[in-house]
A = this chain, B = another copy of it.
């Protein structure tokens, strides 16, 4: 098969041995695979994949059709449309997914959208519900909302009955983000729309300190992105006065069993929303797999609405 391969910091569409599905694994003919920040970090040598994953093959998510299954497989059969979260090596003609990680692609959902579903929605779901216990009536701030995770968080918050405020730096994209179910504002207008019970922080830097100022008592901040900076000054008295928590977690580093748990939660709670169109995967642009360098460049350029996806 061919796969996106990193060699000396450059991307190539290279020949690789076909992967072989293990006991409870699926061999998937990949139709689409999302591009994520971790791929760019891996290209730059700054995000080594977990053990057991080829270090030079990026890609955290894909969707396609099952072509073969391992001997103990129970959930899927050849011909099934599936999608899943991988530790790496998702951007190739073939990929192997453990069946406890894989999810069915609902009828009517395009495989190119499905290829960009898992990472953004798993990250947003885990942050909103598992880490921050978002509940109906909560005020949710999605800080830096125009990307894949941000739009997923806006949609999930809206579907849950939270009041969602989305901060979007680029005025040209505010209306589109509002269309997913949020009051869409400039970053410097956020404070007037608080206080917030939950903040999904996709920008980082000193924005985290501003989040704490705008937090309601008992509020929770989860830091997912750090494009605006990797440090912030933390006011401990304010943390105490707000009875607040600040947390962070990356999905990629988690072991198989935790990824399976996230996938099962996503299948149960979010797939019905995807199947009925209450949430969708906005795709900013598709690229052919062989054009991965251009796709990564487009991702790095920012100012996008939703996902960059490699697709056949």
* A positions within 8 Å CB-CB of B: 204-205, 208, 217, 223, 226, 229-237, 239-250, 253
Closest to A240 in B: B248
Majority DSSP secondary structure for residues of A touching B = mixed
Chain B positions within 8 Å of A244 at CB level: 247-248
Q: Across the interface, do B243 and A245 meet the contact criterion of CB distance under 8 Å?
A: no
Q: Across the interface, do A231 and B234 meet the contact criterion of CB distance under 8 Å?
A: yes
C-alpha spacing A236/B232, complex, angstroms: 7
Closest to A245 in B: B247
**Closest approach, in angstroms, between the C-beta of A93 and any C-beta of chain B?**
32
Q: Across the interface, do A234 and B234 meet the contact criterion of CB distance under 8 Å?
A: yes
Given contacts A232-B234, A233-B231, A234-B208, contact A247 B253 (CB under 8 A): no
Given contacts A231-B234, A234-B232, contact A223 B239 (CB under 8 A): yes
**Closest approach, in angstroms, between the C-beta of A152 and any C-beta of chain B?**
18
Since A231-B233, A233-B234, A241-B253 are in contact, a sample of 5 more A-B pairs with Cβ atoms closer than 8 Å, ordered by chain A residue number, is A226-B237, A226-B240, A233-B233, A236-B248, A239-B247
**Closest approach, in angstroms, between the C-beta of A26 and any C-beta of chain B?**
28
Q: Across the interface, do A204 and B248 meet the contact criterion of CB distance under 8 Å?
A: no
